[in-house]
Chains A and B, each alone.
Chain A
Amino acid sequence: MWTWFYKLASPPHVFGVAVALAPWLFSAAALAIAYGLIAGLAIAPPDYQQGEAFRMIYAHVPSAILSVTVYTVMAVASAVALIWRIKVGHAVAAASAPIGASFTLMTLVTGSLWGRPMWGTYWAWDPRLTSELILLFLYVGVMSLRSAFEDPARGDRAAALLAVVGVVNVPIVHFSVVWWNSLHQGATIVTLEGPKMPGSMLWPLLSMWLGFMLFYGAVLCIRVQAEVLDRERQSAWVREAIKS
């Protein structure tokens, strides 16, 4: 049974799956995001409290969810690669890291832009944004560590260990930052939570979330193809694939 699993996780097989899936994921992502944007920006009514500003939620919340989801995927792939020595795990982790970092950055930027009308300033040490900032540092750490090694195999393993150690810490960091912020209550009365959600506001949000997930999957497929080819460039199947 395990041989079946190893075969499933073998580089040529994963490469093939990634090539096949990518176009579908891109199309589905485009549809979901298109619906989300149109319904969210044009159709949903403005919030009585926040006005038009709340619409930033359609970019901010899905990015935030994805930033943590991608880190988790990266950590799981890293753990699989470290424990069972399945090298494709390293390819998935390496492919995911910059995507996750980009989502985190997007969360910070959209959060900051959303905060401006709410708080009057671009940065007010809101707990959620602060813990996103620390998440960004964690991503940067993993990426820097991977690239600091001359031997890419060792770089992969080191970055994988760091990703696993980091994922354990993400909830701790988040909790600590939220607690820290509660000490300074009154500094930010309005949090980036958005209004209570009637259907017309909720559906576009869910659609954006789905769209972002699909988009992550699609970009992951593309990047995994490149990572796998790079890591396996010495093997026969890659040379065949390049020739054809």
Chain B
Amino acid sequence: MTVGAWEAFWLIVHREMRLSFRRPEQLLQPLVFFLIVTTLFPLGLSLRLSLLKDIAPGVLWVAALLASLLSLDSLFKSDADDGTLEQLALSGQGLTVIVVAKTVAHWLVTGLALVLVSPIVGTALGIPTDAFATMLLSLALGTLTLSWLGAIGAGLTIGLRRGNVLLSLIVLPLATPLLIFGAAATERAISGASVVGALYFLAALCVFTCTLAPFAAAAALRITLE
């Protein structure tokens, strides 16, 4: 009696969660990186706090992007190293389901964690609390889209020397639209302008990426596995 796609999806998500929580220190790393990078900016600006508030959305977003990218390198690496990726590829479920499950699980423990930590970072950077709703929503959409772009990049760079540098090199240019609209949405929320346009575009990007990226990432894995 074969296993359906949904059942397989949940089984893989369950597997990923269990693996992530067996090493809880690993989960904290991107969050700490997020905090460190945001701390660097005020230090670099000689703590001119008035200026900090103006650039806060950009700083927040760049830090979130970099922190997400750092952790995306490990999306497939561990499975590729110990040979379990091949077992997944031969499980009869097709690489697309596997990629979707792994990426969603990864986002839940990384991207979503960044979103939940962002109010702390936002406050530290001087972002007013009434802009938080927009900030959280834009970060949620943005990190999810980034996870997908990162999945494609990670699939292409598994096992390469300095693959994580190459991963960033590949993914960051593709992520510029995210950064532009995400930071703009937050900025407009702070200044009181309408955020709807920016958020809609961010959502459209997210939907577009979530629809097409799984196939690209699965294709990337197929290329790597050969």
Contact = CB atoms under 8 A, between A and B. Distances in A.
Q: Indicate, yes or no, whether A interacts with B.
A: yes
Given A148-B160, A154-B226, 15 more contacts: A82-B219, A141-B170, A145-B170, A148-B161, A158-B156, A161-B156, A161-B219, A164-B216, A165-B216, A169-B174, A173-B173, A173-B177, A176-B180, A176-B181, A180-B184
Contacts of B184: 180, 183
A138 B173 contact: yes
B35 to A, nearest CB: 27
Interface in A148-178: 148-149, 154, 157-158, 161-162, 164-166, 168-169, 172-173, 175-177
B56 interface: no
Nearest to A159: B156
Contacts of B173: 134, 137-138, 141, 173
Interface of A: 82, 134, 137-138, 140-141, 144-145, 148-149, 154, 157-158, 161-162, 164-166, 168-169, 172-173, 175-177, 179-180, 183
B224 interface: yes
Contact of A161 (B160, B172, B223): B223
B223 A137 contact: no
A145 B156 contact: yes
Contacts of A164: 216
Q: Is the interface of B mostly helix, strand, loop or mixed?
A: helix
Interface in B189-220: 205, 212, 216, 219-220
A137 B169 contact: yes
A140 B174 contact: no
Nearest to A176: B177
Contacts of A149: 160
Nearest to A157: B223
A137 B156 contact: no
Nearest to A140: B169
A165 B150 CA distance: 12
Interface string B154-165: 001100111100
Given A134-B176, A149-B160, A180-B180, A165 B152 contact: yes
Contacts of A165: 152, 174, 216
24 contacts: A82-B219, A134-B173, A134-B176, A137-B169, A138-B174, A141-B169, A141-B170, A141-B173, A145-B156, A145-B157, A148-B162, A148-B166, A154-B224, A154-B226, A157-B223, A161-B152, A162-B156, A162-B170, A169-B177, A172-B177, A173-B177, A176-B176, A177-B180, A180-B180
| From A140, A166, A183, residue with most partner B Cβ within 10 Å | A183
A32 B174 CA distance: 36
A127 to B, nearest CB: 11
A47 to B, nearest CB: 32
A161 B216 contact: yes
Interface in B106-129: none
Interface of B: 152, 156-157, 160-163, 166, 169-170, 172-174, 176-177, 180-181, 184, 205, 212, 216, 219-220, 223-224, 226
A140 B166 CA distance: 10
Q: Which 7 A-B pairs have the closest CB atoms?
A: A176-B177, A137-B173, A141-B170, A157-B223, A180-B180, A176-B180, A148-B160
A148 B166 CA distance: 9
Given A158-B156, A162-B156, A168-B212, A173 B220 contact: no
Contacts of A161: 152, 156, 216, 219-220, 223
B23 to A, nearest CB: 28
A175 B176 CA distance: 11
Contacts of B212: 168
A195 B208 CA distance: 38
B95 to A, nearest CB: 13
A185 to B, nearest CB: 14
A172 B205 contact: yes
Contacts of A145: 156-157, 166, 170
Contacts of B220: 158, 161
B170 to A, nearest CB: 4
A169 B170 CA distance: 12
Contacts of B219: 82, 161
Contact of B180 (A137, A138, A140, A179): A179
Nearest to B193: A183
A168 B212 CA distance: 10
